[in-house]
């Protein structure tokens, strides 16, 4: 999925940062491509996909946090991307060399996304318990990416099993901390390899921390997918702007992730010939005549590595020289009886 022979698939999450402005959204996608994203991810829903149009009880305005004062209906109505934009944006993103895919929030959204050739399905953290939705999306046979921000282990198992029960084994679980923004101390990235081994799936990170450290560290822990919110300019505002990366920040993160991946390399203990010679070996420290005995006074372990291995020092003590050896010569076996 990733570009440039990389194994790390980097997703720029648009989310609500379209601000209901199509031209702004197009410029944002163009900047995502310049910043090095492999893919653009959007969300496909209407307010009724997520909540009820009520103003009381569970659906009353939020009293604290990033979205204080909004009812859920008002928030999702403002944040929802118009459906008729999405096929157009997909064409734009693909022309820029990126994949374009979405998170569906109901079966109707899945059907709509199928009609436009959606290549990947992403299940958002808060939807991980919607097993019928997961089964339906997974039944389309596309790769499944599932965030785990509000999931206990049993929730994750149910979601993974739901995919497998409909024959879909292309599953990536994303470690996610569902705070907006999240603090680095709450990232708990050691969960990434545990997810991989526990559920036998690919793994990654959906990150809401500020900065690049969590994505870069996640690569060393086995992440193959990184998802990060992207905004053209945080000062534009919007529901997700405050915890999203601006273009230069995202570009720096991409460079850090790519370099982290390169630094992992392969398992190897090979040492170049040049570096082998930088090691210690046995050298003659006094002029020696033929027949002289080797001792700690005339042979020492020093750099460079052109002589006998230092491990042989106890074994050559007392041996006699066959030839004249000058001070500073590397000691060779052929010089000894």
Residue 196 DSSP SS3? helix
Find, among 306, 167, 228, the residue nearest to 38 by Cα: 228
Same domain, 184 and 250: yes
Same domain, 23 and 107: yes
Total of domains in the chain: 2
Same domain, 149 and 95: yes
Residue where one domain finishes, among candidates 245, 264, 283: 264
- DSSP label at residue 225: E
What per-residue confidence (pLDDT) applies to 239? 77
pTM score: 0.90
Same domain, 94 and 198: yes
For residue 177, what are the domain limits? 9-45+80-264
Residue 321 forms part of a structural domain: yes
Backbone angles phi, psi at 121, to 5 degrees: -115, 130
Token pair, residue 47, equals 């307010």
Residue 28 forms part of a structural domain: yes
Please state at what angle helix 153-165 crosses helix 131-138, rounded to 10 degrees.
40
Ramachandran bin of 56, using left for φ above 0, alpha for ψ from -120 to 50, beta for the remaining angles:
beta
Query: What angle is formed at CA 19 by the lines to CA 17 and CA 25, rounded to 5 degrees?
Result: 70
Same domain, 208 and 319: no
Same domain, 98 and 211: yes
List the CATH number of the domain containing 85. Answer: 3.20.20.70
Same domain, 170 and 290: no
| Helical segments of the chain, H only | 22-35, 72-79, 86-95, 107-115, 131-138, 153-165, 191-199, 213-220, 247-264, 273-276, 313-316
Residue 55 forms part of a structural domain: no
List the CATH number of the domain containing 317. Answer: 3.90.1210.10
Same domain, 155 and 252: yes
Strands 99-104 and 171-176: unpaired
What per-residue confidence (pLDDT) applies to 6? 77
What per-residue confidence (pLDDT) applies to 223? 98
Q: What is the pLDDT along the chain (337 residues), one digit of tens a residue?
A: 676 667 999 999 999 999 999 999 999 999 999 999 999 999 999 999 999 999 999 999 988 877 788 899 999 998 999 999 999 999 999 999 999 999 999 999 999 999 999 999 999 999 999 999 999 999 999 999 999 999 999 999 999 999 999 999 999 999 999 988 999 999 999 999 999 999 999 999 999 999 999 999 999 999 999 999 999 999 888 778 889 999 999 999 999 999 999 999 999 999 999 999 999 999 999 999 999 999 999 999 999 999 999 999 999 999 999 999 999 999 999 999 9
Strands 9-13 and 39-44: parallel
Residue 92 forms part of a structural domain: yes
193, 203 in Cβ contact below 8 A? yes
């Amino acid at each position: 999925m990733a570009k440039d022979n990389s194994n790390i698939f980097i997703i720029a999450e648009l989310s609500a940062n379209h601000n209901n402005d199509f031209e702004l959204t197009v410029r944002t996608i163009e900047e995502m491509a310049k910043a090095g994203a492999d893919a653009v991810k959007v969300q496909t829903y209407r307010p009724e996909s997520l909540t009820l149009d009520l103003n009381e009880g569970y659906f009353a305005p939020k009293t604290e946090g990033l979205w204080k004062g909004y009812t859920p209906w008002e928030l999702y109505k403002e944040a929802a991307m118009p459906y008729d934009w999405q096929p157009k944006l997909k064409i734009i993103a693909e022309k820029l060399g990126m994949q374009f895919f979405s998170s569906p929030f109901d079966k109707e959204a899945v059907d709509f996304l199928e009609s436009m050739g959606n290549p990947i399905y992403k299940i958002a953290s808060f939807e991980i318990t919607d097993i019928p939705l997961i089964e339906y999306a997974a039944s389309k046979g596309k790769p499944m990416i599932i965030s785990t921000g509000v999931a206990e282990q049993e929730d994750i198992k149910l979601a993974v099993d739901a995919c497998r029960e409909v024959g879909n084994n292309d599953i990536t679980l994303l470690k996610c901390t569902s705070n907006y923004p999240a603090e680095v101390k709450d990232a708990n990235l050691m969960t990434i390899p545990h997810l991989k081994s526990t559920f036998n799936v690919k793994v990654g990170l959906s990150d809401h921390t500020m900065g690049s450290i969590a994505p870069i560290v996640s690569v060393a822990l086995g992440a193959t997918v990184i998802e990060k919110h992207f905004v053209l300019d945080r000062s534009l505002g919007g529901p997700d702007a405050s915890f999203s990366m601006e273009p230069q920040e995202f570009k720096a993160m991409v460079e850090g992730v790519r370099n982290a991946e390169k630094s992992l390399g392969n398992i190897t203990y090979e040492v170049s010939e040049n570096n082998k010679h930088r090691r210690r070996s046995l050298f003659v420290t006094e002029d020696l005549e033929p027949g002289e005995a080797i001792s700690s006074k005339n042979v020492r372990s020093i750099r460079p590595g052109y002589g006998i291995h230092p491990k042989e020092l106890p074994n050559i003590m007392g041996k006699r020289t066959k030839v004249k050896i000058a001070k500073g010569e590397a000691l060779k076996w052929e010089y000894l009886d």
